[in-house]
Amino acid sequence: MTKTAWISVDMEGISGIVDREQLLPAGRLYEASCALMMDDLDAVLAGLAERSEIGRIVVNDSHDGMLNLPWSRFGRDVDLISGGTKPGSMNAGVEAADFAIYLGYHAMAGTPNAVMDHTYSGEIREVMINHRMVGETGLNAAWAGAHGVPVILVSGDQAVAQEATELLGGVETVVVKEARSRRSARLLPPPEAHEALKSKTAQAVERYLSGAVEPFAFLAPLHLEIDLMTTDMADRVMFCPYMERLGGTRVGQTFDSMDQLFRGFYTAMALAAGRPLY
Ligand SMILES: [Zn+2]
């Protein structure tokens, strides 16, 4: 029986990316960045192709509007989940996979020397689940883990690699750049970055197949706590009937399942992102 691989591709941790100018469709370097995303993905796909145990591969475009990856460059046996506002967001489709890969990820909000550190949106200062601080890697790994799916590889800068190792233990990491600040990094040359992605992917699959990688999960009940940038944002989150005010900028709630927690988190983020009321 072959295994289904699932890859969530964000953009901030892709080889060669350091600044906002590269990350949004209006940016001067955005088109070139989409090609860089595909180059990193091709390297991971080459690593997966070395293993006959891998059957279908599903790729979830996980950055911004989630319309970044050029579908016309996709080959056989690789499906693309394209577009935003989808159940699970960055996690869409992982529940049907055997293992997950996080490509081009970035460190959680507030991390020093981390390229474009943030947690889902610019309104969020901190996220805690059961009193443990998590970024996108932790939130998403907990969602995957709730469906029994382990994360086998995370790529990005040195900061997200450290974050992933501290949280996920057995995960393989690929450092494609050393951040010097939020908007600068020393970049690995493309051939070296792509070779590392390819070889580490093959190693991560090997480790997964040997049974050495466990799904990451929090035990229910799941307490979510979010610290927002301003009190105004917290005021808006309070329009959600099940959210509680935990402090000036802090909101939260306890949930029975990771699916419910993630929907609560997403709702809070969406409400916080609205314009000020006056
Ligand atoms: Zn992103």
| 278: pLDDT strictly greater than 70 | no
Q: What is the pLDDT of residue 259?
A: 96
CA separation for the pair 115, 158 (Å, rounded): 9
The CATH architecture one would assign to domain 3-209 is 3-Layer(aba) Sandwich (3.40)
Q: How far is the CA of 235 from the centre of ligand 1 (A)?
A: 26
| 274: pLDDT strictly greater than 80 | no
- Whether residue 63 lies in the annotated active site: no
Cβ neighbours of residue 263 closer than 8 Å, sequence gap 6 or more = none
- Percent helix, strand, coil in the chain (nearest 5)? 35, 25, 40
Q: How far is the CA of 11 from the centre of ligand 1 (A)?
A: 5
Q: How far is the CA of 10 from the centre of ligand 1 (A)?
A: 5
Q: What is the pLDDT of residue 275?
A: 72
Options 63, 106, 118, 194, the catalytic residue? 118
- The pTM score is 0.97
Helices 158-168 & 136-146 angle (0-180, nearest 10): 40
| 277: pLDDT strictly greater than 70 | no
By the 8 A CB rule, do 237 and 225 touch? no
With tokens 């890859």, the residue in question is 7
Residues with CB under 5 Å of ion ligand 1 are: 10-11, 63
CA separation for the pair 66, 104 (Å, rounded): 13
Average pLDDT estimate for 251-269: 97
Q: How far is the CA of 75 from the centre of ligand 1 (A)?
A: 24
Average pLDDT estimate for 75-103: 96
Residue 70 preceded by cis peptide, ω within 30: no
